[in-house]
Structure 1
Amino acid sequence: MKSCLLALGVSTALLLTGCADMQVGGGKNPVGGSAGGATSTGAASTLEHCDHPLGTLAVEENTNDPWYAVLTGQYHLPSTVPLLRLMIQQSNCFVVVDRGQAMNSMMGERGLAASGELRSTSSMGKGQMVAADYVVTPSIQFSQNTGGGGAALAGVGGGYGAIIGAIAGSMKSSEASTTMMLTDTRSGVQVAAAQGSAKNIDFGVSGLFDHFGSGGASLGAYSQTPEGKVIAAAFLDSYNQMVKSVRQYAPQRVAGGLGAGGALAVDGANSANAAPANFSLSDAQRKLAQLGLYTSKVDGMPGPGTSRAISTFQKANGLPVTGQLDAATSSALQAR
């Protein structure tokens, strides 16, 4: 039942999308143009731009999500990955690395090199691939409000639902909402999340069905079809919101370090090794600096320098050498 309801909501929004002006953050430009390195042409005027990239990034869709089945199966729109990769490279806020279908071809070339089939000058040796610092995960939601004569829908099929609609009247408002989650690949920590939207205002549905049947099998579907435009514009908005957020990024900090147990004591949990919540990593760095064991910046951030200083202190005080700020180490530092 849940999947059918989702399909109904998505189908209603897309079938009623027309050719009115696109509204997204005050602009009217869907994603388009091209990108080459740090340069681009034809980028949306509203797209956020960075002077320097913030790291490398891979785009990963969850193809098992219901929205993806409706997007590609019912409306024949392509994967959002090419659209997002173009937009991200145009912004120069991240360097995009490929973790999609091209990866299979890259690994195939490396396989040929390993077998000795490639020329010796091909330079396909190991150690050249670039790691993805972050992974961005997109998703799409739709909502709608009808006006005029309203809409009559019938014929919900099985699976995610194939909608056969008999549409009357006109739509007052159709909106696509998108979310983007940015995850740090080394720690698994979500560093940013953003939601954006785009909508069409006051239009009828006459002529809409002329847009269907073209297949939408390329990136152009997101700039040429009305349903593609509203999705592209919504992703443009959500990406802009994410960039604005990470420009002022400040890491979330937990006393004792991330993943060390946290400050919320769960009933029955073993908290014997947890650092006291009132003694932070910044406190430990400050105390270690006073002891001449820590010479870096007191910033409350874990790192090699902090770990070495803690390990040295632990060894000198007969504590288990872990390099982590546990309860015993915290107590010993506070006693000095």
Structure 2
Amino acid sequence: MSRTSLSTIAAACAVLALAGCETTNMKMGSSDAKTVATGAAAGGNSANASGQLERCSAPLGTVSLVENQDAGWYTILRNEYKLPPTSNLLRLLIQQSNCFIVVERGAAGMRAMQRERDLMGSGEMRSGSNFGKGQMVASDYGLSPEIIFSNNDAGGMGGVLGGLIGGGSGRAIAAVGAGTKTREASAMLTLVDNRSGVQVAASEGSASKTDFAGFGSIFGGGGGGALGGYQNTAQGKVITAAFMDAYNQMVVALRGYQTQSVQGQGLGGGGKLGVDGGAAPSQTHAVAVMSPLEAQERLNALGYNVGTPDGKLGPRSAAAIRQFQKDRGLAINGQLDRNTLDALSR
């Protein structure tokens, strides 16, 4: 074959290859590839978020993700299902919901921030690159995720259906049923106040999806192999839906949030479930130290108007103290007693 003929064939192959590229119908933003956690978030703005996601009119505080990478569920998530950390998913849901402002506390992110500070300290950064102290935002709350996996084989039901119908159709349905698996996932979220260590909220969500892996028995190995790869993706989609369900339920509960308090004792002051032989609350509870002037300033900051703080507890201050005591479920006496000072100190 001449060199000219080979060149012609090569050119023709190139044209066919390009034509093949044009017919692959590649689409960005394909709905088939999406989960319920979709779209984007930037600051308080979100784009193309799921209509099923609960939203808040204003953030309730800052939150960081606390993912236990030593837990058994995390090992399954990463090693068996080859899925990324759940924090990546939850960051998107949280920011789109506008219920919390996410702050970075992950190991990799913290190392990146420290690297910039080290560079500034080395003197290599240009003038005006301020990475000095006092700029990081505190994390008010910590959100901890957990997954409970389940993988139920529904093949027995498929066999029953096949036996009832009989014939060729029966064999086909049995083949589908034998490979039918219901992928289920339950997700739990726990929200803890980072200052006090008190659990603020907890929620559980679930989702399930049925995959017909048995299609491979009907249409041949090629179809089954392709769908087999889809099963892992489906598992990820189920987990995503379960976390959105849990997060939505938590947001609904937080909208009606009421502070828990132990009347007369204060949190951590001994509690009402006394134990025989246990230390008395007076021995386990530190006495708050606050001057009358500081108490007046604290009352003003909380919205209980005492006027200009002067350290003198006149009628206006007493009225503010009584209202504060009423709101906190304390004994109403208008005085800065121990329980009132404890409540003001928190």
Q: Confirm or deny a common fold (TM above 0.5).
A: yes
Q: Match for residue 238 of structure 2?
A: 230
Q: How far is the alpha carbon of 1:107 from its aligned partner? A: 1.0
Query: Is the Cα contact below 8 Å between 1:57 and 1:135 reproduced in 2?
Result: yes
Residue 309 (1) aligns with residue 336 (2): yes
CA 77–205 in structure 1, closer or farther in 2 if over 3 Å, else same: farther
Give the alignment's TM-score, normalised by structure 1. Answer: 0.66
Q: Match for residue 226 of structure 2?
A: 210
Q: How far is the alpha carbon of 1:65 from its aligned partner? A: 0.4
> The residue matched to 1:43 in structure 2 has which SS?
coil
* In 2: Cα distance, 1:254 partner to 1:309 partner: 18
Query: Is the Cα contact below 8 Å between 2:35 and 2:240 reproduced in 1?
Result: no
Q: Which runs of 5+ in 2 are unaligned?
A: 1-31, 159-175, 216-222, 285-298, 300-312
Q: Match for residue 135 of structure 1?
A: 142
* In 2: Cα distance, 1:73 partner to 1:226 partner: 16
How big is each residue's C-alpha offset from its partner over 1:288-335, in whole Å with a ceiling of 9 and x where there is no partner? 998955724332179xxx9x933699xxxxxxxxx448xxxxxxxxxx
* In 2: Cα distance, 1:229 partner to 1:312 partner: 50
Q: How far is the alpha carbon of 1:108 from its aligned partner? A: 1.0
> The residue matched to 1:121 in structure 2 has which SS?
coil
Percent identical: 45
Residue 122 (1) aligns with residue 129 (2): yes
Q: Match for residue 218 of structure 1?
A: none
Q: Match for residue 280 of structure 2?
A: 271
CA 141–289 in structure 1, closer or farther in 2 if over 3 Å, else same: farther
Q: Match for residue 108 of structure 1?
A: 115
Query: Is the Cα contact below 8 Å between 1:197 and 1:237 reproduced in 2?
Result: yes
CA RMSD of aligned residues (A): 3.6
Length, aligned pairs only:
252
Query: Is the Cα contact below 8 Å between 2:269 and 2:281 reproduced in 1?
Result: no
Structure number with greater CO (CA < 8 Å, separation at least 6) is 1
* In 1: Cα distance, 2:339 partner to 2:254 partner: 35
2:207 partner amino acid: A
Residue 261 (1) aligns with residue 261 (2): no
Query: Is the Cα contact below 8 Å between 1:29 and 1:45 reproduced in 2?
Result: no
Larger Rg: 2
Residue 295 (1) aligns with residue 303 (2): no
2:140 partner amino acid: D
Q: Match for residue 59 of structure 1?
A: 65
Q: Which runs of 5+ in 1 are unaligned?
A: 1-21, 23-27, 152-166, 215-220, 276-284, 314-322, 326-336
> The residue matched to 1:225 in structure 2 has which SS?
helix
Compare the two structures and name the one with the higher helix fraction. Answer: 2
